Structure formats: structure tokens, C-alpha cells
Chain A
Amino acid sequence: MIRLLLPLAALVLLAVLPALVSEYGLGLLIGAATYVTLASAWALFSGQTHYVSLATVAFYGTGAYAVAVLNEALPYPAVLLCAALAGAAMALAVGLSTLRLSGVYFVIFSFGLAELVRQLITWYEVNVTGTLGRYIFLDVTARGIYWQMLALGAATIALSAWIGRGRLGMALRVIGDDEEVAAHSGINLARSKLAAFVLSAVILTLAGAITSPRYVYVEPSIVFNPTVSFLTVIMALLGGANRLWGPALGAVPLFLAFEWLSAHFPDTYPVLLGLLFIGVVFLVPQGILPAAEKLLRRRAEA
């Protein structure tokens, strides 16, 4: 009961928070909520299966772009729906063709995917529509964006929890441990991976769609900013990618740390980011949460 009530209470608290903070505070909340959502959605697929995806921004950017294309033609909910569908379709196509690639090839592919999508959209816009750069004039306030992102983040974590307790979650954990065993135990590898990949991609796409009104102007080189992919991975890994609350736990402090760094060390920000990334890989490869669990267990045993 507590396990359910506590998050719900926290959610209510987070929902009323905008009334108490400044515009900048709200901006911080939006950023934190966005990265919690991204990292949790990323972990939904990559955290369990260990298929490290560097393609977060391919979906995130697609969401933003879908809104830019459709925002004048359709009502807002329909735009979101279309964005989600576009993300799902893309994830299906990509998943069907690449999820049988193993380890390093999948990482490389996902590394190139954002670039590929960007090239395709650019080529399409230049050759078919003859314009590049679109505008989003939607009457969505910063608070509206925050509430939507908060809802999406909460839904992502709830969905992860639900999946984790079900067959799909078990299948994904087994796949992450040993695909061979998984297949010979009767797990349909392709279907399980695809389901998780598509779900994760839809959330990533929706996150991009929800934040896009803050950009106003959208161009492939703006929305497919690879830093988003990198930050998502490092946040999820830091917290513990195969734990329910791990990504959220990694996202919030890192996001705040980056904000602080960019204000105080604008010139050396990439150096610090790089060092942080290397530090995470070396010092807490499994993430903070599993490391803490281990420590606690050891203490209990001692």
C-alpha cells in the first residue's frame, strides 16, 4: 500500500509545485521531468535487455518534428496521437530490421540512426516540400507542458513497474542475461524486444512532441541534437538502468549538475560532462541504486 501511496503523494506534490516557483523554477521542473521521462523510457528497453541505444534523439526529434508539421492542420490531441503513431511506425521498422543485430552492431546502428533520420527529413523537405524550418505556434503554456510531461513521466514509471511484474518484463530480463537461454526457454525474442522497443520509442517520441512548443522554430539540425541521446544514457546508467527508480534517480541530480556547470563553467562544460561519463562507467557501472543495494546487503550480512 505504501509503495503505491508514496509515489502518488509525491506526484500530487509535484503537480502543485508550479504555483510556488518562479518561471525559471518551472523551467527547471520541465527539464527535470523531461529527462526523468527520457531516461525511464530508455531504460524500459535498454536497461533490461542491455541493448544500449544511442538513438533517443531520433525519436525525440521525430516527435518534435511531427508537431511542427501538423500543429496547424490538426487539434493538439490529434497531433500528439499522430506523433506517437509516427514514433511507433519508425520503431517498428527499425526494430524489425535491427533487433537481430547483436551488441556492438546495434549500438553503432543506433548511433547513426539520428543522423539518418535527419538526412531523410532534410532530403524530403528540400526536394518535396521545398522548405526547411517550420514554426510551432501553439497556445501551450509552460505549466501545461510541465503537467503533460509530469503525466508522461509518471505513466512511464507506472508502465515500467507494470511490465516489470508481467511476462514481458521477465522476458526482457532473461534476454538481457542470455538470449540463447531465453529462446530455448520458449521466449519469442523478436516479439519481446520489439514490444519493449516500440513502447519505449513511443514515449520518447511523445516527450519530444510535448516539449516542442517551447522551441517555436524547428529544423532538423535543431531537434536532432545528439547531446540528448548521450545525456539520457548517462543518466539512466548512473541511477541504475535495470531498476524502476534508477533512471529517475540518475536524471534529477545530473540535470541539476549540468545546469549548475553551464552557469559556472560555460567553457569547460563538455570536459566535465566527458569526465562524468567516464567516471560513471568506471566507478558505478551498474548504477547508484544497485551499488547502494549491494552495500546495504553486505552490511546486513556483516
Chain B
Amino acid sequence: MKGISRRALLRAGPVGMAAAMALAAGAQADDATVKIGYAVARTGPNATGAGITTIPNYELWVDTVNKAGGLAMPDGKRRMIEVVEYDNRSSNEDLVRAIERLVSQDKVDLILPPWGTGANLAIAPLMARFGYPQLAVTAVTDKAPDFAARWERSFWMLGGGHDYAAGLVDVLSQARDAGTINAKVAVVSVADGFGIDLISGARPAFEAAGFELAYDKSYPLGTSDFAAIMSEAQASGADSFVAFSYPPGSFGMTRTAQTMGYNPAVFYVSVGGAFPIYPGVADGREEGVMAIGGVDAGSPAIRDYFARHEAFAGKAPDSWASAVTYASLEMLEQAVARAGLEHGALAKELSEGTFETVVGEVKLEDNQLRDLWWVGQWQGGAFRAVGPSGREGASAPVIPKPDW
């Protein structure tokens, strides 16, 4: 069980207001600490997502920084990070109160965002009112430009549903133009904000690119049996199977396709496809499966990040939002080193500066990260980015996918 080790590790240390002060305080460390607070879901329905993408990266980063002697300040001194953590219980009400607590009670210097689009939006007005910069990583929304304009110190780093849909259509169009797949697509989408965003972006994009949606249905969140849906998709005659799905669904569809011997030339699932557990779900037959996200698996920075993550958390990170989450923390670290902890200056630096991160050199456009990978594919045991194809580090997609 991959989950066990991380939990065991967590419980080994003190929980709650864990003062993560590493013993290896460097000689040049200042006595004052930097208080960093966050309220991420430890329990409830969001705990799964937060436990995969958000919490391990926060803990890894704090550990890394403190082992290096602390957070570097503009004056060259280093200050250790002290973490104040609350459980938001997957409830926005508790989350909002936890943020108020971090600000007015604990008076933390910086606040790291919670996991999830809804959670990030819920705290955005508060963060803006208190003036804290908000690096909203795990928020996928097409309204990111509006939000970035509405709350000046908010940064949106994972794009919107339409971006991912368009990116996918791009990859498929090239394959169709090359004659490897036909112009029919079977699409299923989960009936939930994320799935709807993606499908409403994908429909016009597919049509504009000359694709026919041979099968296009949504299914409710919580569906566990996909045999009926998959056999309908198979019967539709489409060469491409596209699922705008969440993890239990993404996994269930993969296994159903395997058992029924459904072998479309393109097999695409969304969230979950880039999780480290996916090859296990696919029983080692993940080769050629496409999914949302992706990383430049060949780059040394990513390789080093994956190794450190695995050593620290006992499991590899997911290949979509994890790297971006870690990159956002590196941005924060570098921005603090250049501009200090004053929120206005810090936000300005985040907005205008250029940063060296695990996902490469990052510069935000209108407070948004636009240099993202929209489509990835399992190739030779790694989940590699394949789209946008023109970007440096992109792998060539393998279409048709080898049979299961």
C-alpha cells in the first residue's frame, strides 16, 4: 500500500501546529523564523486530492528549505520556516475560518493555498483583503484571467478546462491529418464542474477541427460501473476514446477497457491518468495511454524532483499538478529572496519576475502560468508531455496506442 508509508511518516512527527524546525539550523540562520500557514484538507472528500498533490509537496519544500538553513532573505540572511497547519475538513466554511485564524491569530508571514478550485476561490477575497499573495495552483478555471484581474495578488497556475480540451484536440488533429486515426471521437464526461468545463470546451474545438462526436455522454460523479458506457463507446466506431474524468472513473474505465478488449487508437483519461498509481491500475499495460497534464520527463530538474519526492514521501509525485505545485513554492522562495516578506513587493516580484523551477524557467503572464503541458502520454514507464507539440521538451505522441 503506497498510502501507508506517508501516513506513518506523518504521525512520526508532531501533528497540528508542527514547528517543522529542522535541527540542522545553519550558522547564518537568523533567530526569527518565517511563519508559513496552510489549511489543506486532511479529512473529507478533498483529502484524497490534497494528499496526492498538495501536502507532500508542501512538506517536501519546507523540509528542503530548512535543511538548507532556512529561507533566504534579501539581506542574505536565512530564516527557518515554522509551519502552522490546520485541517479544513473539506469544508469551505472551516477553510475560510482557518485562513482568518492564520492571519489574525497566528499572524503568519505567508499562506499557502488549499487544494481544489472551489477552495482557492473561497479564500481569494479574504487573501486579497488581507493582502497576502495567493499562488492558486490546484485551481483549474477558464475564468482565471477575470480572477487575476479581480484579485491583484492572486496567481493562477494550472490553466482552464478549455486549454486542456483544445490541447487534446490539437494532438488528435495532427494524428488524423497524418491518417493514423479516423475523424470520429467517443467522449464521456463526468457531471461535475471540471468535466463540464472540459466538455464544453472540447465540443466546439472538436467540431472546428472537423471531428465527429460519435458518442458524447456525461455520467454522474460516483459512477463505479463503466461496462455499459464503454461498450457503447466501442460500438460507436470511433478510433479515439476521450474521458473527461476523475480518478475512480479514470481507473474504472481503464480496467473495463482492458477486460473487454477495447483497443482504440487513442485512449485518453483525465485526472488520475498521470498519477503514479496508474501503471498499477493498468496492470503494467499503461503504455500509450494519454491523460491530462504531463512533465518533461527527460529534464534533469524533473528527474531530480521525482527522486527527492519519492525519497521524502515514499511515492512518486503525480505528473500533472505536483510539479507545478512544487514550482510555485520555488517561485515563492526566490521571490522572497529578492523582495522580502512585505506582501506588496512580494506580489509584484511574483507577477513580474522570472524564476528557475523544476518545470523550467517560469514567467507569469497577467498573473497566470501559461507555459503548461496540456496532454501527456505513458511512454516507456514515464508519463511524458506530448502537447503542445511545439514546446521544448515535448515527446512525440505514439498513435495508435499498442493493444492492452
Q: Do chains A and B touch in the complex (CB under 8 A)?
A: yes
Which A-chain residue is minimally distant from B101 (CB atoms)?
A24
Beyond A219-B193, A264-B17, A267-B10, whether A119 also contacts B220 by CB under 8 A is yes
User: B97 touching A28 by the CB < 8 A rule?
Assistant: yes
Contacts of A265 in B (CB 8 A): 15-16
Partner of A214, one of B44, B45, B96, B197: B96
The interface on chain B, measured as residues whose beta carbon lies within 8 A of the other chain's beta carbons, has a size of: 44
A122 at the interface (CB under 8 A from B): yes
A residues in contact with B100, CB < 8 Å? 22-24, 26-27, 142
Question: Any chain B CB within 8 A of the CB of A188?
Answer: no
C-alpha gap A222/B124 in the complex (Å): 16
**Residue contact B105 to A24, C-beta cutoff 8 Å:** yes
Of B25-33, B82-90, B312-320, B390-398, the one contacting chain A is B82-90
Known A130-B200, A216-B125, A222-B118: A27·B193 in contact at CB below 8 Å: no
Interface centre among B11, B85, B122 (most CB of A within 10 A): B122
Whether B104 pairs with A126 at a CB distance below 8 angstroms is no
Interface residues of B in 93-108 (CB under 8 A from A): 93-94, 96-98, 100-101, 103-105
**A36 CB, min distance to chain B CBs, angstroms:** 14
With A22-B105, A23-B103, A131-B196 already in contact, the answer to whether A122 and B220 are too (CB < 8 A) is yes
Residue in contact with B15 in the complex, picked from A30, A211, A267, A270, CB distance below 8 Å:
A267
Q: Quick one: closest B residue to A219, CB to CB?
A: B193
A242-281 interface mask toward B, CB cutoff 8 Å, 1 = contact, 0 = none? 0000000000000000010011111101100000000000
A221 in the interface, Cβ–Cβ < 8 Å? Answer: yes
Within 8 A of A (CB), among B108-124: 117-118, 121-122, 124
Complex formed: what's the CA distance from A25 to B97 in Å? 9
Docked Cα-Cα span, A222 to B221, in Å, equals: 13
Which A residues, 200 to 225, have Cβ-Cβ distances below 8 Å to chain B? 211, 214-219, 221-222, 225
A125 and B97 alpha carbons, distance in the complex (Å)? 29
Contact of B68 with A by CB under 8 A: no
| Minimum Cβ distance to chain A for residue B17 (Å) | 7
Q: Which residues of B contact A7 (CB under 8 A)?
A: none
Known: A216-B124, A266-B86, A270-B43. A132 touches B192 (CB 8 A): yes
Q: Does B92 contact A (CB under 8 A)?
A: yes
A263 surroundings in chain B (CB, below 8 A): 16-17, 86-87, 101
Contact A215 B101 (CB under 8 A): no
Which of B45, B90, B98, B121 is packed against the most chain A CB atoms within 10 Å?
A: B121
Given contacts A24-B97, A119-B220, A132-B191, A267 and B118 within 8 Å (CB-CB) = no
Q: Please, which residues of chain A bring their CB within 8 A of the CB of B92?
A: 214-215, 222
A65 vs B88: C-alpha distance when bound (angstroms): 21
- Bound together, the chains give a CA A21 to CA B31 distance in angstroms of 30
Within 8 A of A (CB), among B191-216: 191-193, 196-197, 200
A30, A119, A130, A267: the one contacting B11 at CB < 8 Å is: A267
Interface check B42, CB cutoff 8 A: yes
A31 CB within 8 Å of chain B = yes
Interface residues of A in 102-131 (CB under 8 A from B): 119, 122-123, 125-126, 130-131
Asked whether, in the complex, the Cβ of A266 is within 8 Å of the Cβ of B43, the reply is yes
Residues of B near A76 (CB, < 8 A) are: none
CA distance A47 to B66 in the complex (A): 54
B299 at the interface (CB under 8 A from A): no
Q: Which residue of A lies closest to B107 (CB)?
A: A22
Q: List the 4 closest A-B pairs by CB distance, nearest first.
A: A266-B87, A217-B121, A133-B193, A22-B104
* B interface residues with partner A (beta carbon < 8 Å): 7, 10-11, 15-17, 42-45, 85-87, 89-94, 96-98, 100-101, 103-105, 117-118, 121-122, 124-125, 130, 143, 191-193, 196-197, 200, 218, 220-221
Residues of A within 8 A of B (CB): 22-28, 30-31, 34, 119, 122-123, 125-126, 130-133, 135, 142, 211, 214-219, 221-222, 225, 227-228, 259, 262-267, 269-270
Given contacts A27-B100, A216-B124, A259-B97, 4 further A-B contacts (CB under 8 A): A31-B93, A122-B220, A219-B193, A228-B91
**12 CB-based A-B contacts, threshold 8 Å:** A23-B104, A27-B97, A30-B97, A122-B191, A122-B221, A132-B191, A214-B122, A262-B87, A262-B89, A265-B16, A266-B85, A269-B89
